[in-house]
Amino acid sequence: MSKGKLSSQENFLHINQGFSTRSLHAGEHQPLPGQIPHTGAIFQSSTFIFSNAKEGADIFSGEKSGYAYTRLGNPTVKTLEAKLSALEAGELTKKHPDTEAFSIAFSTGMASVSSTLLALSDAQDTILLGTGSYGATEHFSRTVLSRFNVNVVEVDTFDLNQVENAIKKHPKAKVILFETPTNPMLAVTDIALLTKLVKGVNPDIKVIVDNTFATPYLQRPLELGADVVLHSTTKYLCGHGTVVGGIATTTSKEIYGKILAVVKDIGTTPSPFDAWLVNLGIKTLSLRMEKHCENALAVAKFLSTHAKVESVRYPGLETDPYYQLARRQMKKPGGIICFNIAGGLESGRRLMDHIEVFSLAVSLGCIDSLIQHPASMTHACMLKEKREKAGITDGLVRISVGIEDTNDLLNALNDALAKV
């Protein structure tokens, strides 16, 4: 009996076969009576059956489209990739119908960062890296890329004078990678101006934006001239704290091919189940982001008038240095806030140990509110001197504002601050 042609009941139940064979084959590849599941199916399969040897050869050679092996492609993962292309580049392709978009999903956000940098840099190249990039991005560049003789130069991308100096000093830099807004200080970089500036000196430089904090609902770097957009899908895209994952999206077929070549060999493919969970999360992205932003603004306003809070950073506050730029570049200012509490580390610890509703945990972008202390948690690996230069003082607290009822968040903060 040939596999892949299981239409009769007998073949479906495999009743003429032994127990072990039945335990493997019975019920599998069930022919559905022309029905399509309402929610996309999870193709949790490492390999795919070819209907004959020629089809297998044709799929491997690229002559025929289809799936062969999940490290090289999977229908559930493909759904996620198509979704991100549509979200990051949908408006762009509407305006410029010739524009194509390509996405590659990864097992983690760091896999998307490391694979993209490995794909776009060679030995002896220089890459420019935005100050305040995620700790592991900075660590990977400094410790791994440097072993392959890639020169990594840090630049404050939110200060365009510094960008100009850096690109003039390194006019052959292959890549500039930055995050906006940054973590945890929420500094905003002008993506369109930066792109114009660096490409004016080196038209071949690739501008890569880590868009994890904003999501394509709030900010779309490809529309502003960037070449690649990266995400840790672990955060807002999944939204429910159930997955670690990443994705890269580009409008360049050449860049797509380079990243794909790395991914196939390094093997940073996500599991179909994880891709399915991110697909599910993305379905409510716009609603969640609206509520995250509404709550974050209320929390930022509350904190900025509280006697025990020394300063608040949130680009949605009119007093914030990035308010105008964020208004221009982003639909709304996002769901992350950081603030300095009077009394430093001790006060921060008391706040985090006594607060209700918020969970004391790292990560961000979950539906529920999270609170953490960057100096002793997410940014503990940085030298204290470097940390403080970046504004990450011992009294700094970061919150990822969830979608709870606004008043419950304000009451929880008010009660916890009273105990500080």
Ligand X SMILES: Cc1ncc(COP(=O)(O)O)c(C=O)c1O
Residue 185 CA, distance from chain mean position: 18
| Cβ 214 vs Cβ 289: under 8 Å | no
Secondary structure (DSSP) of 343-387: THHHHHHHHHHH-SSSEE-S----SS-EEE-TTTTTTTTS-HHHH
Residues in the chain: 420
Query: E strand or H helix at 276, and its extent?
Result: helix 272-282
Which of 7-15, 103-111, 198-206, 215-223 is the region at the interface with ligand X (rule: CB under 6 A)?
Answer: 103-111
Residue 86 CA, distance from chain mean position: 16
Choose among 337, 342, 330: nearest CA to 300: 337
**CB of residue 77 to ligand X, shortest distance in Å:** 16
Does 232 help bind ligand X (rule: CB under 6 A)? yes
Interface mask (CB under 6 A) for ligand X, residues 51-90, using x and -? ----------------------------------------
The number of beta carbons lying within 10 Å of the beta carbon of residue 384 is 13
Query: E strand or H helix at 137, and its extent?
Result: helix 135-139
* Shorter beta-carbon distance to ligand X: residue 244 or 300: 244
Q: What is the dihedral of CA 10, 11, 13, 16, to 10 degrees?
A: 70
Query: E strand or H helix at 154, and its extent?
Result: strand 151-155
**Residue, CB closest to ligand X:** 109
| Cβ 374 vs Cβ 399: under 8 Å | no
* Shorter beta-carbon distance to ligand X: residue 130 or 348: 130
* Shorter beta-carbon distance to ligand X: residue 67 or 140: 140
Does 244 help bind ligand X (rule: CB under 6 A)? yes
d(CA 415, CA 282): 34
* Shorter beta-carbon distance to ligand X: residue 80 or 416: 80
Told to judge if 134 belongs to the known catalytic residues of this protein, a careful annotator would answer yes
Does 246 help bind ligand X (rule: CB under 6 A)? yes
**CB of residue 366 to ligand X, shortest distance in Å:** 12
**Identified catalytic residue from 190, 210, 227, 274:** 210
Given 103, 116, 234, 250, the residue binding ligand X (CB under 6 A): 234
Which of 2-10, 109-117, 264-272, 317-325 is the region at the interface with ligand X (rule: CB under 6 A)?
Answer: 109-117
**Identified catalytic residue from 83, 206, 235, 331:** 235
**CB of residue 246 to ligand X, shortest distance in Å:** 6
Alpha helices in 155-202 (DSSP H): 160-169, 191-201
Does 392 help bind ligand X (rule: CB under 6 A)? no
Q: Which amino acid is at 289?
A: M
Choose among 368, 377, 360, 363: nearest CA to 401: 368
Given 76, 103, 116, 212, the residue binding ligand X (CB under 6 A): 212
Which of 108-116, 301-309, 385-393, 406-414 is the region at the interface with ligand X (rule: CB under 6 A)?
Answer: 108-116
**CB of residue 141 to ligand X, shortest distance in Å:** 13
* Shorter beta-carbon distance to ligand X: residue 212 or 279: 212
Per 3-state DSSP, what percentage of the chain is helix, strand, and coil (rounded to 5)?
Answer: 45, 15, 45
Does 179 help bind ligand X (rule: CB under 6 A)? yes
**CB of residue 326 to ligand X, shortest distance in Å:** 16
**CB of residue 414 to ligand X, shortest distance in Å:** 28
Compute how many residues bind ligand X; rule: CB under 6 A: 14
The number of beta carbons lying within 10 Å of the beta carbon of residue 36 is 7
Given 138, 210, 274, 394, the residue binding ligand X (CB under 6 A): 210
Does 249 help bind ligand X (rule: CB under 6 A)? no
d(CA 245, CA 237): 9
* Shorter beta-carbon distance to ligand X: residue 134 or 276: 134
**CB of residue 242 to ligand X, shortest distance in Å:** 12
d(CA 136, CA 382): 11
**CB of residue 178 to ligand X, shortest distance in Å:** 10
d(CA 92, CA 94): 5
Active-site annotation, residues: 71, 134, 210, 235
Positions that interact with ligand X (CB under 6 A): 108-110, 113, 134, 136, 179, 183, 210, 212, 232, 234, 244, 246
